[in-house]
Amino acid sequence: MTYMHKVLLIEDDEFTRFMMREIISGLGVEVEIASNGDEGCKLLEKQPGEFGLVLMDLHMPVMSGIDATLKIRNEVQDPPSKVPIIAVTADVTYHNSSRVAELGMNGFTPKPVSPGTLLSLIDQYCAA
């Protein structure tokens, strides 16, 4: 399977970031990483239309995943970003589709993320 789009991984924990990047790239998908919401927004602005999926940690320093989502949905222009955002969190209060939808996200996946879950998410959003 070939993937057209890149995955943006926004995650503050260094080891987790590295591990997830290895797994995703092992699936043959290009990955860009950011260690907080602010960095993630900048990457999105620089490469409009490149990303097929954002995996967003919710609790992060500098800018949280919730604030970053708000910014992506409202401020990141050209084009007004409709990129799918999946919340990745261990916080069970966000393990609820309508809750994350209210926040402007497309879904959630509980942390820790298994490789199988990653594969199915990428299949869903990044396929050609």
Q: What Cα–Cα distance (Å) separates residue 29 from each residue in 3, 4, 6, 95, 124?
A: 6, 8, 6, 26, 13
Decide if residue 102 touches other proteins (CB under 8 A).
Answer: no
Shortest distance, position 15 Cβ to other proteins, whole Å: 4
**Binding segment for other proteins among 31-39, 48-56, 61-69, 85-93 (CB under 8 A)?**
85-93
Q: What Cα–Cα distance (Å) separates residue 1 from each residue in 4, 48, 63, 126, 127?
A: 10, 24, 34, 10, 8
**Binding segment for other proteins among 1-9, 18-26, 36-44, 47-55 (CB under 8 A)?**
18-26
Decide if residue 115 touches other proteins (CB under 8 A).
Answer: yes
Q: Do 17 and 113 form a contact (C-beta atoms < 8 A)? A: no
Who contacts 124 (Cβ-Cβ below 8 Å, separation ≥6)? none
Distance CA 28, CA 78 (A): 28
Q: Which residue has the tokens 């879950």?
A: 117
Decide if residue 116 touches other proteins (CB under 8 A).
Answer: yes
Shortest distance, position 49 Cβ to other proteins, whole Å: 29
Comparing CB distances to other proteins, the nearer of 81 and 106 is 106
Angle between helices 65-74 and 37-46 (to 10 degrees): 30
Comparing CB distances to other proteins, the nearer of 92 and 128 is 92
* Residues 31-60 within binding reach of other proteins (CB under 8 A): none
The residues that touch other proteins, with contacts defined as CB under 8 A, are 13, 15-16, 18-20, 22-23, 26, 90, 92-93, 95-96, 98-99, 111-113, 115-116
